[in-house]
Amino acid sequence: MQNDPEAPPARVGKWIAERSVIVDTVRPYLGDAVPSTLDGYDGLLVLGGAIGALDDHIGTWLPQVRSLVSHSVDADRPVFGICLGLQIISAACGGTVELGDTPELGVCWIDITDDGREDAVIGKLPMRAQVPQMHRDGVLRPPPGATVLATSLSYPVQAFRIGTRVYGVQGHPEIDTSVMVRWGDESEADILEGAGKSLEEAVEELSASEVAIEDSWRPVFHAWADLVVEYAGG
């Protein structure tokens, strides 16, 4: 589910495809219909975007996406949300999404919780992991029953799991420097002004860390894609 023309699956789409999962991209901002259920699909990847999880006046398709997420989570179908996707899962399932005090921009460190280290997906990360970020919205309270798998000082909910197959991460492991540059051109001014660093500094951080980020996060999405394949096999 691509919610923004500048937020494609990118590397995550490639990593999932490496596990023989076929990616069918739905672009509701272009008029694509949002499915009401996952019938005919084996998993759902909800991508990022500049809008908020409850900005229905801008993203008129968001109520349909939240409904699809809610039905999928209730059925414990494989779901993965990235940044806005994490926030959509939270909003759809009873969590709280709000603006944080300080934006996260560039490459940030997240700490894997004890539950995260034991997790079959997020546990593929090192105990402290790097991830690209560009956001100010965040999950203040995760949905009831969610398990927090990663945290940071500014945004304590950096990753969570609901049930056994539903995941979300606040960061953007899918992006490279070219995507971050484009986002900087389109980003809300408060992110660039409030993060304490320039876009150029953020891009330099990502350029220096891209290989390490790919090495850390590819196994995470391989593990989630394996859940999709397992689900598809019944």
Catalytic residue among 83, 93, 104, 108: 83
Q: Which residue has the tokens 């891209």?
A: 210
User: Is 57 assigned a catalytic role?
Assistant: no
User: Is 172 assigned a catalytic role?
Assistant: yes
Q: What is the pLDDT of residue 187?
A: 57
Catalytic residue among 135, 172, 200, 204: 172
CA atoms within 13 A on the CB side of 143: 23
What tens digit of pLDDT does each residue of 125-168 get? Answer: 999 999 999 998 999 999 999 999 999 999 999 999 999 999 99
Structure tokens of 70? Answer: 């809610």
Please report, for the chain, the start and end positions of each structural domain, with discontinuous segments joined by +.
10-232
User: Is 83 assigned a catalytic role?
Assistant: yes
What number does CATH give the domain 10-232?
Answer: 3.40.50.880
pLDDT at 172 over 80: yes
Burial readout 32-45 (b: 16 or more C-beta within 10 A, e: otherwise): eeebeebeebbbbb
What tens digit of pLDDT does each residue of 18-69 get? Answer: 999 999 999 999 999 999 999 999 999 999 999 999 999 999 999 999 999 9
Catalytic residue among 104, 135, 174, 205: 174
